[in-house]
Structure 1
Amino acid sequence: MADKIVKAIAGDGYVKAIAITSTELTERARKIHNTTPLATAALGRALAAVSMLGSMLKEEAGSVTLRINGGGPLGTILTVSDSGGNVRGYLQNPDAELPLKRNGKLDVGGGVGTDGSVTISRDLGLKEPYVGSVPLVSGEIAEDVAAYFAESEQTPTVCALGVLVDVDHHVLAAGGYLIQLLPGAEEDLIDTIEQAVREAGPVTSILTNGGSAETLLERALAGLNPEILESFPMEYRCYCTRDRVTRALISMGRQELYDLAEEQGGAELTCQFCDRVYDYTKEEILGLADSARLKSRRNEAP
C-alpha cells in the first residue's frame, strides 16, 4: 500500500483530522540511516507526525521542522516536511538500543527521554520562522505532539502514531492520525474522540489487519460522521544537491576553505538526511576559496 495522507472533517464541522500511512517512507529512512528497531520506531513516528504537520500548511513553499531532544540514548531527532507532506529526517544515534518493555514493545519513550523539549518550527516564507517549544511529556512522541498543541497553541489535540518492525528489522506498518477541535466546538467532543480512540486500538494493529488511512479516521472518529475531504501521496524526499552543498562551502569564507584544502587536501561531505556523499578535490576547494575572495572584494567595493 502506497503512503498517503487523508484529511477529513467531522462533528458537524467542529473537528478536523488527518491520517497518514507511512510504511514505505519509514522503511526508506531505515535503510538510509541503518537504524536499529528502536531508532526506526522513533524516527518513523517523528516522520509521520511532521508529515501531517506539513500538510496543514497553506503556504505552498512553506515547511515544518520537528525537533525532539529528550536526553535519551537516541539523541536529537530532527524531521522536516514540505507543504505536500514529503519528509526527510535523521536522528543523532541510529544504532541506539534498549531492552524491550515488559509488554514486549520497543521502549521509544526511554530511547527519546523526557529531559528536554519538543520544538516545532514553521517556515512560512517570512523573515523569521514561527517557533514554539514545550517540555517533553513522555518521549513517546504522539503524546508530546498533542501536549505541544495544547500548551503552545491552546488547541485540544489527539495524536496517535505507530511503527511496527519485523524480526528482520524491516518496517511492517507505520502511520498515525492527528485530530483537533476547531473554535466553537463543545468541550465534550474531546471526550467522545478520546473514547473512540481507546476503542479503535493501536495504529499498527489497524494497519496490519488491512486498514488504510481512511480506516484510521473512521475508527478514531466513530460516531462523529467523518467526511473525507482529500487524499494525496507523499514520500521520503531529500532536496540536497551539489549546488546547495557548494553554496554552503562558499559561505564558510575564503580562509576556512584555504585551510581545509591545505590541511585535508579536499572534502567529503555527507547529507544528514539521505547520506548522499559529495566529494571535493583540493583543486575544487581552492577554486571555491577564490570565488569567495572575489565575492568578498565585490561586497567591499565602494
Structure 2
Amino acid sequence: MIKKPIPGDTKKSMLKARSRDRRYHFVMAGGAVRGVLIQGSRMLREMQLNHNLGVLESIVLGQAYLGTALIASGLKEDGLIQFKVECGGPLKGLSVEADSHGTVRGFLMENPIPLERVPETLDTSLLFGPGFLSVTRYTGDLNKAFTGQVELRSGRLAEDLAAYYEESEQIHTVFNLSVHLETTGEVSGGAALFLQAMPGADEHVLDMVQDAILEIPSLSRTFTAEMDVHEFLDTYLADFQPDLLADKRVEFMCGCSKSRFEKFLANLSPAEQKEIVDNGPFPVITTCHNCNTSYDFSRNELESLFKLG
C-alpha cells in the first residue's frame, strides 16, 4: 500500500496523529453495557486522500470505516469483518473490511457518486435507496465465515447497523458514526461510539444510555484527537460509571503490494499474458480497490514476469 502524503505533514506530526487514532473498550452500568469508542480522524483523512473523495463520498465511506471498525472490535481472535452494502440508489454500494488488529480498508462502488444535482442536505438516505446490508465474520485462518444480511431500513448507516444487530443477533445496540469536514471539504474529525446490552441486562438500561447519547453534541467535534478518553467518558457518560478496559490502534491500512499483483498477473493464462505484452498500453497499471493504490508494470517487467523475453 502507498499512502498519499497529507499536505504540511512532517514525519513527527504524522506519527503523532496516527498514534491518536485509537479504539477504546469499556463497560458501564455495572457491567450491563459494553462500549467501544473510536477516535479515527487521521484514518479518515488518509482514506479521503487515497480515494480522492468528495464531501458526500467522504461522509458515506468514513461512516462505513468507523462502523466496520466498531464491529471488528468484537473479534476475540485473529479475524476479519467484511461489511457490504448493495443498493439501488446512485451509490450502488460499498465494501469495507476491518480486522481484529484495527486496520481498515474499503471502497465505494461509485466514486464520485453520480447525482443529477447536489442534495440540499447531507442526509445519506438519498444515496442508498432500497438494498441489503451484510456482515461477514471470518475467524481464525479466515476459512470459516458466517454472514448475516438484512434489508436497509433508512440509508443511514448508524441506524441500519443497529437494525442489523436487532434483527440478525437480537441484541439491543446503539451506533453513533460521526465525520466532520471543514468548509474546504477536508476531513478534520472522525469518531464513533458503539454501545451494546450484555446478556441479562435490564431492557431499559440501554434506552437510558441511548437518551444520554442523544445529549452529546456532534461526536466528531466533541471527541477530538486531542481529547483524553477519560475526560470524554467522565463528561458525557459519568452517570453510568464507565470503566475503561483496554485500547488498541485503528488505522487505514491495506495489505496490497506490487508483488501481490505480480502473482496475479503471473497466474493469467498464456493467451492473456501474450495479449497484454503485445498490445499494452504501457505501463500496465493495476489498482487496488480497497486503498486505491496503483502499481505500474513496464513492458520489460512483464516480459520477464511472463518469461516471454
TM-score range, shorter chain: 0.7 to 0.9
- Give the residue type in structure 1 aligned to 2:190: A
Report if the CA contact (8 A) 1:254-1:290 is conserved.
no
Report if the CA contact (8 A) 1:120-1:131 is conserved.
yes
Asked if 1:204 is matched to 2:204, the reply is no
Match of 1:54 among 58, 72, 96: 72
User: Which structure's relative contact order is higher, taking Cα pairs within 8 Å and 6+ residues apart?
Assistant: 2
Report if the CA contact (8 A) 1:177-1:216 is conserved.
no
Provide the residue aligned with 1:18 in structure 2. 36
Provide the residue aligned with 1:299 in structure 2. none
Q: How do residues 159-178 of structure 1 correspond to structure 2 at under 5 angstroms?
A: 159-178=175-194
List per-residue Cα deviations over 1:14-71 (Å, max 9, x = no partner): 21100101111111111111111111011111111111222221122x1111112332
Asked if 1:36 is matched to 2:54, the reply is yes
Asked if 1:67 is matched to 2:84, the reply is yes
Structure 2 vs 1, CA of residues 265 and 114 (structure 1 numbering), >3 Å: closer, same or farther?
closer
Asked if 1:227 is matched to 2:243, the reply is yes
Match of 2:120 among 100, 104, 109: 100
Report if the CA contact (8 A) 1:5-1:213 is conserved.
no
Q: Normalising to structure 1: TM-score of the pair?
A: 0.85
SS of residue matched to 1:257 = helix
Distance between the aligned counterparts of 2:230 and 2:286, measured in 1? 41
Report if the CA contact (8 A) 2:40-2:189 is conserved.
yes
Report if the CA contact (8 A) 1:193-1:220 is conserved.
no
Match of 1:121 among 120, 129, 136: 136
Q: Which moved more, 1:125-134 or 1:167-176?
A: 125-134
- Give the residue type in structure 2 aligned to 1:12: G
Structure 2 vs 1, CA of residues 220 and 146 (structure 1 numbering), >3 Å: closer, same or farther?
farther
List per-residue Cα deviations over 1:249-286 (Å, max 9, x = no partner): 23333332223323325521011233222122344434
Structure 2 vs 1, CA of residues 285 and 17 (structure 1 numbering), >3 Å: closer, same or farther?
same
Distance between the aligned counterparts of 1:220 and 1:119, measured in 2? 32
- Give the residue type in structure 2 aligned to 1:95: P
Report if the CA contact (8 A) 2:50-2:293 is conserved.
no
The alignment-based identity, stated in percent, is 28
Report if the CA contact (8 A) 1:265-1:281 is conserved.
no
Distance between the aligned counterparts of 1:220 and 1:128, measured in 2? 39
Distance between the aligned counterparts of 2:132 and 2:303, measured in 1? 41
Report if the CA contact (8 A) 2:39-2:224 is conserved.
no
Structure 2 vs 1, CA of residues 254 and 220 (structure 1 numbering), >3 Å: closer, same or farther?
farther
Q: How do residues 241-260 of structure 1 correspond to structure 2 at under 5 angstroms?
A: 241-260=257-276
How far off is 1:203 after superposition?
1.5
Unaligned runs of at least 5 residues, structure 1: 292-302
Report if the CA contact (8 A) 1:258-1:286 is conserved.
no
- Give the residue type in structure 1 aligned to 2:119: P
Match of 1:89 among 106, 109, 113: 106
SS of residue matched to 2:215 = helix
Q: Which moved more, 1:163-172 or 1:251-260?
A: 251-260
List per-residue Cα deviations over 1:153-194 (Å, max 9, x = no partner): 111100011111111111121111111111111111122122
SS of residue matched to 1:192 = helix
List per-residue Cα deviations over 1:124-176 (Å, max 9, x = no partner): 12534221111111111111111111111111100011111111111121111
SS of residue matched to 1:169 = coil
Report if the CA contact (8 A) 1:67-1:118 is conserved.
yes
Distance between the aligned counterparts of 1:260 and 1:87, measured in 2? 33
Unaligned runs of at least 5 residues, structure 2: 1-16
Provide the residue aligned with 1:273 in structure 2. 290
Distance between the aligned counterparts of 2:232 and 2:89, measured in 1? 30
Distance between the aligned counterparts of 1:91 and 1:220, measured in 2? 33
Structure 2 vs 1, CA of residues 39 and 218 (structure 1 numbering), >3 Å: closer, same or farther?
farther
Provide the residue aligned with 1:262 in structure 2. 278
